[in-house]
Structure 1
């Protein structure tokens, strides 16, 4: 089904999905961009992605995918929870967006063949996004490092928050490191991606992305230790460097990690715990408990929830939480059952990163970069399609009418 050459337009579709999931809320940009304009661009990108995916797959050929099937069930749950309009008509709009997102993934599943094609698309697109961040930093350092965010790096050309930039940087750093270990790219090309991305990650002071990067890479490289000498050498050097850094730069690392916060503020996860406690204590009907309040803006009482599990519980109820948990468990289980390979390691990194980030970031219940990362993991874990049998001259004469043959093979 998915074997053979992947059309170039598929990479364009993936890039449009990345653009759609950038979001419309964030820091103030150098040139003020109306939120309605940004939403028009991001939503237009999703519509274009679906249209292009449909155009290149008019036969509606898809591959069986437990991941996209579970996403489809999550979409059904979202529609049920949003139909009561407790979150307004915006909930139905978000359901339509999620439906286009899931539909596009179904159409792309035809080319999910367990290879690294989509990994390269992923790295290129997010590196382009980080390029716009670096350009904004070079053009207007004051706008890119505003006091409003405590001097943390934001998007000055496109409204991106520090956690978003940190996430994009961490994901492409991890994937590029794995490509180098698997000898699927040269070190110079990898350095061009890794070095500036590390600088941008450091400037965001994003703890979740940093922990996700290191822990995800540790698990991914650990899956290669028995089969890859390069992975063993890298792991040994990484442990040595981490030990030296922990001993020699402990105070600097602690200051970076705390970001000038008090211990009380840090222990409450920058105030997140108070929102979480209020959300869990809020009274709910049986229907709201099982199916939630409908898709919203991932906030409670006007404050961001910043936890994927609680955001899903609030918007899609316990049914949504069960489906999201099933997605993580199914992908993780399939990854563990696959034989060691670079593709498996990349999938383990992505699944681990998303699972770690879900504690302090929302996004697993709606169209988001996290669902796109997991879609990439699903494409890496897909079994290679069986190669089509060769058409011998005898089969050609038997199955293809004479009028349909371009040339008769003797």
Structure 2
């Protein structure tokens, strides 16, 4: 009975996690094969968040929560978000985004009860994002032209659900890294891992996403490096990876360079595909003291109609210097806890996720609002959580032996 209840609970928690993933897919992206109104997509994503909160609440009606520095810092991030959004400089949409962030963080608090330092949420994460990549692959098979449109330079996009190349690259890179670590830790077999890694690598290559590729390789190098002293498999993998990288650099140098540049000019590449111009304009804009401290309110992560594509500048614009301090504290706290833990597979997975998010934050926004990046860091926090203390089971009472004289009836 106890095992069945645990399995049932795990399935519900996995469903909650899948709904959170659906909520963070976003509503803007490429044109799909079947046109989907943006209002319909937003209804689906917000409905997924409400359903996730309701399921998590039903599963945790007694509101049992575990202490979490990560979730505490995210809760504090709501303060500058609400203060800045209340001025309505970004419109009523800012208050709506605050409510969404509050519901998102509240759901994480509810499921945080099951953060136990094991690999449960890693497996949930891989399954859910692999399902998302499955929809991308299906769109590529059904309509290659819609999946690799000229508008995006022939890069892979979501043809069934509006996903951009950076989104697809991010999901592919994260599940590739986590699956590789599970193989090294002997927590999955190679055949099952290959079914995840090989198609994900193909999709990552088709997106031509440089940030995701660099995040994958650097994050894996740091994660595997944390296992080298205690894992022979990690040492062998690291040696073979270095050898293969050296051979590829010599034999396929020109091909790799062409893939990396994506046909861009050196000027466009040096300005990070125009991102630097937006960043300079954002930093040069006049701001009041309140806007510098608290930001202008939660928006669509754009400035002057152009995407900011930098988590730190997006947080500065929307949640001010206080927001930057809190997001930096999230990265520092999680990274510090990971470094202080003894070598283990859980620690390696956490290091991979934290380093990936830190690297991607330079050219991608999302650390200050409900996003896949906050889910990646939530998985890292679950891996670094201390196992719940076992409830002591009272020893059964042993009946005392009654003396023979006491067994006699007192009635004469």
**Which residue of 15, 38, 41 corresponds with 1:38?**
41
CA distance in 2, matches of 1:5, 1:330: 33
Tell me the equivalent position of 1:389.
392
**Is 1:68 matched with 2:78?**
no
Unmatched 5+ residue regions in structure 1? 396-410
What CA RMSD, in Å, does the superposition of the two structures yield over aligned residues? 1.3
Q: Secondary structure of 2:342's match?
A: coil
Deviation at 1:5, TM superposition (A): 8.6
CA distance in 2, matches of 1:76, 1:157: 37
Tell me the equivalent position of 1:50.
53
CA distance in 2, matches of 1:36, 1:209: 29
**Is 1:285 matched with 2:288?**
yes
TM-score, length basis structure 1: 0.95
**Is 1:372 matched with 2:368?**
no
CA distance in 2, matches of 1:234, 1:193: 18
CA distance in 2, matches of 1:228, 1:262: 43
Tell me the equivalent position of 1:254.
257
Residues 29 and 164, structure 2, Cα contact 8 Å, conserved in 1: yes
**Is 1:230 matched with 2:221?**
no
Residues 169 and 207, structure 2, Cα contact 8 Å, conserved in 1: yes
Unmatched 5+ residue regions in structure 2? 1-5, 399-412
Provide Cα deviations, 1:309-367, integer angstroms capped at 9, x if missing partner: 00000000000000000000000000000000000000000000000000000000000
Deviation at 1:391, TM superposition (A): 3.2
CA distance in 2, matches of 1:123, 1:7: 15
**Which residue of 59, 63, 67 corresponds with 2:62?**
59
Provide Cα deviations, 1:14-41, integer angstroms capped at 9, x if missing partner: 0000000000000000000000000000
Deviation at 1:4, TM superposition (A): 10
**Which residue of 28, 33, 38 corresponds with 2:31?**
28
Provide Cα deviations, 1:230-251, integer angstroms capped at 9, x if missing partner: 0000000000000000111000
CA distance in 2, matches of 1:394, 1:222: 52
Residues 216 and 356, structure 2, Cα contact 8 Å, conserved in 1: yes
Residues 114 and 380, structure 1, Cα contact 8 Å, conserved in 2: yes
Question: What are the within-5 Å matches in structure 2 for residues 315-354 of structure 1?
Answer: 315-354=318-357
Residues 79 and 92, structure 1, Cα contact 8 Å, conserved in 2: yes
**Which residue of 193, 210, 214 corresponds with 1:190?**
193
Q: Secondary structure of 2:73's match?
A: helix
Residues 80 and 295, structure 2, Cα contact 8 Å, conserved in 1: no
Tell me the equivalent position of 1:307.
310
In 2 relative to 1, CA 133–5 (structure 1 residues): closer, same or farther, beyond 3 Å? closer
CA distance in 1, matches of 2:167, 2:397: 58
CA distance in 1, matches of 2:76, 2:177: 30
**Is 1:205 matched with 2:208?**
yes
Deviation at 1:390, TM superposition (A): 1.7
CA distance in 1, matches of 2:184, 2:394: 39
**Which residue of 74, 90, 104 corresponds with 2:107?**
104
Tell me the equivalent position of 1:119.
122
Deviation at 1:92, TM superposition (A): 0.2
**Is 1:268 matched with 2:274?**
no
Q: How many pairs align?
A: 394
Rg bigger for which structure? Answer: 2
Residues 308 and 358, structure 1, Cα contact 8 Å, conserved in 2: yes
Tell me the equivalent position of 1:401.
none
Provide Cα deviations, 1:48-89, integer angstroms capped at 9, x if missing partner: 000000000001000000000000000111001101000000
Residues 6 and 111, structure 1, Cα contact 8 Å, conserved in 2: no
Q: Segments of 4+ in structure 1 off by > 6 A?
A: none
CA distance in 1, matches of 2:14, 2:366: 23
Provide Cα deviations, 1:233-287, integer angstroms capped at 9, x if missing partner: 0000000000000111000000000000000000000000000000000000000
